[in-house]
Amino acid sequence: MQRSLTLAAAAVIGLVSAGTVATAADFGRAPPPEYYAQAPEYYAPAPAEYVVVPQISPRCMRWTNRCDRRWGMGSPRFARCMWRHGC
């Protein structure tokens, strides 16, 4: 029994090590240095006049504080409280 387990373990280790050597990828030569010298292209952000920022009414800010104190932020009852008050 012990001998068969030892042989099985040796076979598995041999197959794993042989498989990694046989399947090692060769991607060819390295790219030329000019490839690394290219600057990455970044997209410019949108101008400030086109950015939409949602405005929160002071009434909703008060209800957010009240509902948070009563039910806890993120709970289902908090969401229901905010919905009931139109926020």
pLDDT for the residue numbered 83? 92
Q: What's the rounded mean pLDDT across residues 58-67? A: 91
Binned at pLDDT 50, 70 and 90, residue 17 comes out as low
| Mean pLDDT across 2-21 | 61
Q: How far apart are CA 8 and CA 16, in angstroms?
A: 12
CB pairs under 8 A, 24+ apart, for 5-12?
none
